[in-house]
A and B are shown apart, each in its own frame.
Chain A
Amino acid sequence: MKMNGSQILIQALIDQGVDTIFGYPGGSVLNIYDALYERSDDIHHIVTSHEQGAAHAADGYARSTGKTGVCLATSGPGATNLVTGIATAYMDSIPVVAITGNVPNDLLGRDSFQEVNIAGITMPITKHNFIVQNVEDLAYVVRKAFVIANSGRKGPVLIDIPKDVTAALTEYVKLPRYRIRKLPKVDDAKFEEALEAIRQAKRPMIYAGGGVISSNATRELLKFSKHMDIPVCCSMMGLSSVPYDYDLYLGMIGMHGTPVSNYATLNTDLIIAIGARFSDRVAGNRKEFGKDAKIIHFDIDASEISKNVATDISIVGDARYILKKMIARMPETKHKEWTDTLKAFKDKKDLPKPRGDDKVDPRDLALTLHNIVGEDAIIATDVGQHQMIMAQYYQFSRPRSFISSCGLGTMGYGMGAAIGAKVANPHRPVILVSGDGSFHMNMNEMATAVSEQLPIVILIFNNTVLGMVRQWQTLFYDHRYSNTSIERKTDYVKLAEAFGGKGLRIKTHQDIEPVMKEALSSKVPCIVDCWIDKDDCVYPIIPPGKSGKDIILYGN
């Protein structure tokens, strides 16, 4: 049957299992939107306030489900507005397919109205991108985009389609649902070497990253850890890969990690890194990190091996497959002396406790929220102190329940991401924890949440300043608060109401629980303005570029 490019695009997306798209109409995608009009029963299209919100929503949708997120934007500014969202997904290896319209083929390269070389712009922030110049290639390219986005280390792929291609007619040939590419075989010799190193280790630890979650290896990780009696710490991307209350869980590792995971890193004789990439937020000092330990690295991406920190033994492959294979081969082991030492350390030195006065301590916000919604909830965050507090104190237990821009650190990520997560999980509570700085970046998406009737709860940790940058000014710039005391006059309650949502306020410690409960029972998006102290800093902190030995455990 002959179809035009737009109908083919939509049909090809449906054939690849897509039922939700986040996007924004415009001149170059008019034909595509026309095709969506007739297929609105099959594909739910959500119009965001800004294309950036659409890209983050596709990302949040993908993170919370493991499926591929799809976003759609017009040429020129529509396409460039996606860029931050695509880069965010790229840094955290999230499968997203971004589709952009472009000016017709015969206008390409002439600086036409709303023309931009989006393929060139997104080259370093996509796994691959396509410019589809012939309608005959379109269905094939769509399927291939899904293959690439989901194979090996996942990530975003962009498809740029000139407008004439969206109108051109051709025969439509249905292609099967995408299948991921086969991985290279695990190197047996290295596998044996790794087994031997694990057997020999007296004080082993696991450093789990986002790869554990994206390869659905959380169950195997827990089993491996229990079986071998090896404690686990997680990078921020790895949070929720083992339950918070698991007795061998040490907490987050790195710049704002727990004291005990830092202690373990300094005293271990074997680090087993799984689906993690030794980023500068984990290994602030590449030369010092794990210097006295052996390092085994399992990763699906061969180029991650020894990229940041030199490793002794590496296995390239799927985390789930490798862990299963390991469990089958290893006898049950105990490292009692080591785990007892860590437990004793943790009893002595743990994360700072909430202050316990009448003021609102952000740590109490995280703890109380968890008490109320528990593991059913999905928590999205923006970027800054509030993000770190959630990473430290919220007791994540269910994989894919923590949605946060960890690699790129995109302020303004959360609002779109929370929308994506809620669309994908309508029956689970979705809470965006944001800061007053981050929230101002993309609060326009409040309009989307209201229009789509998505009762997201938005907790704004409002300290009137750009808290994390200010914290660095406090610690490293002699209290010179250049441009971080923004003190917006925004009335968040009125703002919420103006958007058609609900607004509440938490001013004292006593407000926390009742107000949160009220917010969570709201049928419309609800903003909660939480008043916190601007001098409250996130501890512990390992200063940038330093090693775990330089950790600052508590503030003054």
Chain B
Amino acid sequence: MERRVISLLVENHFGVLTRVTNLFGQRGFNIDTLSVGETENPKFSRITITTRGDEGIINQIKLQLAKLEDVKKVEEIPEDLLFIREVVLIKVEVNKDQKDNFLKAVKDFGGRCQLIEKGCCVVELTDTPASIDYFIEELQDYKIVEISRTGGVAMELSRND
């Protein structure tokens, strides 16, 4: 089933995230990724959820979310207007022989490197979730120690009316 991206505008106070995730748990809906942060208006937060399910399930997710008192707006971002980005941090161990190839790969993907000590660094990349998947795949030749991903944040590529 295809990935679907749902963007929620919610009241910015404690307990709201719990209400949203509880709803998914209670009704057996999947959450692939979830990210949350304040918006241009400090009264509200934006929650971006990527999920999957058939049309009926996605409809249920949207309608059930809309019933939550703290949820002000539920929008699904259609694939053709989707602008989505994710940040990944990858801790890698790289030996001397690999160094040049490694740095090239990071550069090709537009990532950045933060050295911890000799032979060990953290790579940072901001891109689409699919590109990040691909990047991680590329790094399989090196010793990946730890991966941390934010999940997608998304916007619709259209003017707000």
**Residues on A facing B (Cβ under 8 Å):** 119-120, 123-124, 127-128, 131, 148, 301-303, 305-307, 310
Contacts and interface: CB of A to CB of B under 8 A. Distances in A.
B29 to A, nearest CB: 12
Nearest to A119: B15
B67 A301 contact: yes
Contact of B60 (A119, A127, A307): A307
Interface stretch (B18-26, B86-94, B129-137): B18-26
A303 B18 contact: no
Contacts of A301: 67
Nearest to B56: A306
B56 A310 contact: yes
B63 A123 contact: no
B152 to A, nearest CB: 25
Given A119-B15, A123-B22, A306 B67 contact: no
Chain B CB within 10 Å — which of A119, A124, A301, A303 has the most?
A303
A302 B18 contact: no
Closest 6 CB pairs of A and B: A303-B63, A128-B69, A124-B26, A302-B63, A303-B64, A123-B22
A305 B63 CA distance: 9
A306 B64 CA distance: 12
Interface in B47-84: 56, 59-60, 63-64, 66-70
Contacts of A127: 67, 69
A306 B59 CA distance: 9
A123 B69 contact: no
Contact of B18 (A123, A148, A306): A123
Given A123-B19, A303-B64, A306-B56, 7 more contacts: A123-B18, A124-B22, A124-B23, A124-B26, A301-B67, A303-B60, A305-B63
Contact of A148 (B26, B66, B69): B69
A305 B56 CA distance: 10
Contacts of A120: 18
Contacts of B66: 302-303
Contacts of B63: 302-303, 305
B136 to A, nearest CB: 36
A307 B63 CA distance: 10
Q: Is the interface of B mostly helix, strand, loop or mixed?
A: helix
A127 B67 CA distance: 8
A306 B61 CA distance: 12
Contacts of B70: 128
Contacts of A123: 18-19, 22
A306 B56 CA distance: 8
Contacts of B22: 123-124
A127 B68 CA distance: 7
Contacts of A307: 60
A301 B64 CA distance: 10
Nearest to A124: B26
A128 B22 CA distance: 13
Nearest to A304: B63
Contacts of B15: 119, 131
A221 B141 CA distance: 70
Nearest to A310: B56
Nearest to B26: A124
B67 A303 contact: yes
B18 to A, nearest CB: 7
Interface in B8-37: 15, 18-19, 22-23, 26
Contacts of B68: 128
14 contacts: A120-B18, A123-B18, A124-B23, A124-B26, A127-B67, A127-B69, A128-B68, A128-B69, A131-B15, A302-B63, A302-B66, A303-B63, A305-B63, A307-B60
B145 to A, nearest CB: 35
A278 B154 CA distance: 36
Nearest to A306: B56
Contacts of B18: 120, 123
Nearest to A120: B18
A405 to B, nearest CB: 20
Nearest to A301: B67
Nearest to A316: B63
Contacts of B64: 303
Contacts of B60: 303, 307
A120 B15 CA distance: 8
A218 to B, nearest CB: 26
Contacts of B19: 123
Contacts of B56: 306, 310
A119 B16 CA distance: 12
Contacts of B23: 124
A119 B15 CA distance: 9
Nearest to B61: A303
A15 B72 CA distance: 28
A302 B65 CA distance: 11
A310 to B, nearest CB: 7
A131 B15 CA distance: 10
A306 B60 CA distance: 9
B16 to A, nearest CB: 11
Contacts of B26: 124
Contacts of A128: 68-70
Nearest to B69: A128
A310 B15 CA distance: 33
A124 B19 CA distance: 8
A310 B57 CA distance: 12
Contacts of B59: 306
A133 to B, nearest CB: 10
A302 B61 CA distance: 12
Nearest to B63: A303
A134 to B, nearest CB: 12
Nearest to A131: B15
Contacts of A148: 69
Nearest to A302: B63
B72 to A, nearest CB: 14
Nearest to B14: A131
Contacts of A124: 22-23, 26
Nearest to B62: A303
Contacts of A302: 63, 66
Contacts of A306: 56, 59
A306 B62 CA distance: 13
A123 B69 CA distance: 11
A108 to B, nearest CB: 12
Contacts of A119: 15
Nearest to B23: A124
A148 B69 CA distance: 8
B157 to A, nearest CB: 27
